[in-house]
């Protein structure tokens, strides 16, 4: 199986004709494989109908006109918190599009993994190359056969106080090339309250979902360069949305640090059925210019607000305002 997916350097040495032949071979390979499928249509309907009653915030959807009405597509989105799975099921149910999300199993407990499998999430073990390849091909098959595929491009939650996006991985662009489908850049913006909260379900006022204009991946495109193009588009989409709804994140000075620390703690440790392990997720952040980008801020022993991991200890969460 490892020989089915070539490296980017091997693909870039091909002529356009050879690339066309390669991607067609991958499409045919995907369609001939009998991948294990644990999804349940009835279960997805139950989740869809329950989601509006589970969430404690409003849901707004914009840009639906950018989605191909009679075709599937590859949706690349940001990744913010434990609500994304339920938001995806509800949003795509609202717009009448069957969807298969792409996610990681290595960070899930048994119950959550089962929940995702029944919800048609294409799961991979990020630490296992064969699992990643098999998952990408299975994901591609579902898209070729008519489902919309949504991949959380950053690969892990973006908990940074001011960055709109962590660098996204090339998987979504590669799937678009394999399936010959357009990319729809997608933003899930959970608008947070500006207060200290006691429970995770108090954090959000609403979730704004924005679908951007379709991006075509041509045979001659370099996958890495195209991914960076998608990255810039998504960052601009989110910054534009911040400006429109009055969110100011131009620098760390704009951040209410006590609120940020409180909200980050609740996202990581207060969500029902989920717990975010920063040290485990750290390895899945991409580097920029060979330097790891910070994903989280915390208090150091001197009480300074610095890059680092929020521990499961509420006593370390308050910055003195005296």
Contacts of 275 (CB under 8 A, 6+ apart): 268, 269
Given a cut of 90, whether residue 225 has pLDDT beyond it is yes
Contacts of 95 (CB under 8 A, 6+ apart): 61, 64, 67
Q: Is the pLDDT of residue 83 over 80?
A: yes
Computed from CA positions of residues 67, 72, 78, 80, in that sequence, does the dihedral angle turn out positive or negative? positive
At how many degrees (to 10) do helices 171-179 and 223-245 cross?
Answer: 110
The pTM for the full model equals: 0.94
Structural Rg of the chain based on CA atoms? 20
Q: For 297, phi and psi rounded to 5 degrees? A: -120, 150
**Mean pLDDT on 200-210:** 96
Q: Are 230 and 172 in contact (CB under 8 A)?
A: yes
Comparing 242 with 287, the larger pLDDT belongs to 242
**Average pLDDT rounded to a whole number, residues 189-202:** 96
Cβ pair 117, 123 in contact under 8 A? yes
pLDDT band at 14 (very low <50, low <70, confident <90, very high): very high
**For residue 306, which phi and psi values (nearest 5 degrees)?**
-140, 165
For 97-139, how does the pLDDT look when each residue is reduced to its tens digit (9 = 90+)?
A: 999 999 999 888 888 888 888 889 999 999 899 999 999 999 9
Q: Are 173 and 230 in contact (CB under 8 A)?
A: yes
pLDDT at residue 223 in the model: 96
HSE-up of residue 91 (Cα within 13 Å, Cβ side): 30
Task: Specify which of 59-63, 114-118, 305-309, 318-322 reaches the highest per-range mean pLDDT.
Answer: 59-63
CA–CA distance from 134 to each of 30, 35, 193 (Å)?
Answer: 10, 8, 40
Please, what is the angle between helix 129-144 and helix 171-179, to 10°?
40
Mean pLDDT of 229-233: 97
Residues 6+ apart with CB under 8 A from 163: 293
Q: Is the pLDDT of residue 322 over 50?
A: no
Alpha carbon distances (Å) from 148 to 1, 68, 76, 96: 24, 10, 11, 11
Residues 19 and 136: beta-carbon distance below 8 Å: no
């Amino acid at each position: 199986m490892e020989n089915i997916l070539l490296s980017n350097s091997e693909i870039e040495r091909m002529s356009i004709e050879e690339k066309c032949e390669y991607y067609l071979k991958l499409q045919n390979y995907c369609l001939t494989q009998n991948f294990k499928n644990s999804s349940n249509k009835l279960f997805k309907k139950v989740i869809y109908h329950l989601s509006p009653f589970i969430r404690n915030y409003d849901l707004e959807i914009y840009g639906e006109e950018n989605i191909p009405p009679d075709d599937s597509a590859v949706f690349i989105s940001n990744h913010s918190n434990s609500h994304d799975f339920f938001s995806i099921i509800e949003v795509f149910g609202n717009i009448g599009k069957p969807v298969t999300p792409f996610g990681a199993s290595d960070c899930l407990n048994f119950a959550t993994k089962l929940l995702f499998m029944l919800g048609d999430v294409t799961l991979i073990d990020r630490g296992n190359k064969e699992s990643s390849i098999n998952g990408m091909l299975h994901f591609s098959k579902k898209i070729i056969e008519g489902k919309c595929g949504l991949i959380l491009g950053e690969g892990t939650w973006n908990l940074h106080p001011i960055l709109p996006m962590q660098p996204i991985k090339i998987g979504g662009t590669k799937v678009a090339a394999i399936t010959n489908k357009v990319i729809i850049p997608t933003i899930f913006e959970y608008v947070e309250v500006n207060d200290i909260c006691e429970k995770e379900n108090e954090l959000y006022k609403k979730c704004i979902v924005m679908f951007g204009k379709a991006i075509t991946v041509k045979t001659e495109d370099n996958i890495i360069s195209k991914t960076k193009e998608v990255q810039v588009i998504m960052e601009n989409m989110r910054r534009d949305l911040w400006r429109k709804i009055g969110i100011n994140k131009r620098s760390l000075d704009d951040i209410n640090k006590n609120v940020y620390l409180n909200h980050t703690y609740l996202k990581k440790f207060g969500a029902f059925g989920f717990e975010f392990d920063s040290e485990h997720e750290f390895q899945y952040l991409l580097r920029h210019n060979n330097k790891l980008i910070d994903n989280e801020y915390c208090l150091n022993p001197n009480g300074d607000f610095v890059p680092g991991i929020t521990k499961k200890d509420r006593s370390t969460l308050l910055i003195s305002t005296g």
